[in-house]
Amino acid sequence: MKIDELIEQSSRALFSIELWPPRTVTSEKKLAEALELFSTVEIDFASITYGAGGSTRDNTHELVLKLDRQFNLNPVAHLVTASHSEDELRSILGRYRDNGIENLLALRGDPPIDGAGHFEVGEFTRALQLVELAKEEFSLCVGVAAHPEGHPDSMSLDDDRRHLAEKLKVADFAITQFFYRVDDYLKLIDDLEKLGVSKPVIPGVMAPTAFSTLQKMAQLSGTEIPRDIVDRLAPYEASPDDFKKAGTEVAVELCLALLDEGVPGVHIFTMNQASTTLEIFDSVKGNLNRR
Ligand code: FAD
């Protein structure tokens, strides 16, 4: 089902996840176990990342079809403009449409964290061009990335907001980069409204599960880790289980605060870790039911 229709028809906020396509036999096994666990709970959609460096491209396609056919997990296929010609993008979009896939997340793409594969600017240089192609020629429901604290490459926050507003005027919804201050999300929505855009923006939430990962991801995405979160997690730096527990609590509190503000859903960046994500959903849903 198309995400914009799902949001419109649902009487509650959506619960969704991001998954990575596997690269190795070990990660494939881990993902298979995660999918079994995810299929035991109600998840409204699952988005599947796309390696801009090209190392996991076919894996994304396979996983999208697998989620749709075997797991009944409504898939959103990520696709990037980087390293692709327009014809290649057209062929990928056509393959999805012919297989009945209805949702796309259109992105520019970033070089992979570990430098794997080959990365270069594509024939399209902006996500907006892919949004237009996917909507006009393939009638897909198209989402885009939003950056509450501004994209690291943008000239200024105002500039970034104008570009996001331009993308969202054509696209159907957005999913944000991860962030830890609810006010950053609220300001983003406010700024978009001032620019005449009121399409749904789903907040992306990442539970801090290890300091090193958190710092690396924050640096890449331009997300600031607020002092109070650092202070809260720092005592557990040497104790992975306690750190994970405290990080999960941070994510649960963030989801609840966002849901209180009436967000259209919460999208968890799972990093293919089913147990942490299910704990978050369980705790959030339990809290909501007790109210
Ligand atoms: P764009 O919308 O093209 O914007 C990129 C930058 O250019 C911004 O700074 C913007 O302000 C600026 N800009 C846009 N238009 C103009 C213009 N006309 N003139 C001047 N400046 C302009 N990366 C992957 O490689 N694979 C993934 O699967 C993936 N999934 C993601 C999922 C989510 C939810 C998010 C938030 C990000 C994801 N990314 C992924 C990362 C994303 O590819 C990067 O953030 C990338 O650097 C920018 O992508 P974008 O789609 O926001 O680009």
At 72-83, the pLDDT tens digits run: 899 999 999 998
Residue 137 falls in the annotated catalytic set = no
Is there a domain that residue 117 lies in?
yes
How far is the centre of ligand 1, averaged over its atoms, from the C-alpha of 201 (Å)?
15
Residue 291 lies in a domain: no
CA of 145 to the centre of ligand 1 (A): 6
271 pLDDT higher than 80: yes
Give the residue, out of 17, 110, 157, with the most ligand 1 atoms within 8 A of its beta carbon, to mutate for a pocket test: 110
Q: Residue range 157-166: average pLDDT?
A: 98
Within a domain: 143? yes
Distance CA 239, CA 249 (A): 16
Task: Assess if residue 290 is contained within a domain.
Answer: no
The predicted model gives 262-280 an average pLDDT of: 97
| Best mutation site among 151, 191, 206, 220 for ligand 1 pocket (most ligand atoms within 8 Å of CB) | 151
Residue 288 domain flag? no
Averaged pLDDT for residues 203-221: 91
Instruction: Give the residue-averaged pLDDT of 173-186.
Output: 98
> Does residue 97 form part of some domain?
yes
Tell me what the pLDDT averaged over the chain comes to: 94
Decide if 23 is inside a domain: yes
Task: Give the integer Cα–Cα distance in Å for 230 and 227.
Answer: 5
Q: What is the pLDDT of residue 115?
A: 63
User: Of all protein residues, whose CA lies closest to atom 32 belonging to ligand 1?
Assistant: 145
For 60-111, the pLDDT digits (tens) are 999 999 999 999 899 999 999 998 999 999 999 999 999 999 999 999 998 7
Q: Who lines ligand 1 at CB under 6 A?
A: 49-50, 52, 78, 80, 107-110, 126-127, 145, 151, 153-154, 159-160, 163, 167, 175, 177, 204
pTM of the model: 0.96
According to the model, what pLDDT value does residue 112 have? Answer: 67
For the purposes of burial, counting CB atoms within 10 Å of the CB of 162, is it exposed (0-12), middle (13-18) or buried (19 or more)? Answer: middle
Q: Is 114 exposed, middle or buried (0-12, 13-18, 19+ CB in 10 A)?
A: exposed
* Ligand 1 mean position, distance from CA 209 (Å): 24
6-58 per-position pLDDT tens digit: 999 999 999 999 999 998 999 999 999 999 999 999 999 999 999 887 667 88
* DSSP category for residue 123: S
Distance of CA 206 to the CA centre of its chain: 9
Q: Is the pLDDT of residue 249 over 90?
A: yes
Check if the beta carbon of residue 92 is closer than 8 Å to that of residue 112. Answer: no
Residue 289 lies in a domain: no
Show the domain range for 9: 3-283
Write the CATH number for 224.
3.20.20.220
Domain count, the chain: 1
Distance 259 CA to ligand 1 centre (A): 25
Cα 37 to ligand 1 centre (Å): 31
User: Per the residue annotation, which of 18, 102, 149, 279 is the catalytic one?
Assistant: 18
Residue 196 has pLDDT above 80, yes or no: yes
Closest-lying ligand 1 atom to the alpha carbon of residue 178: 36
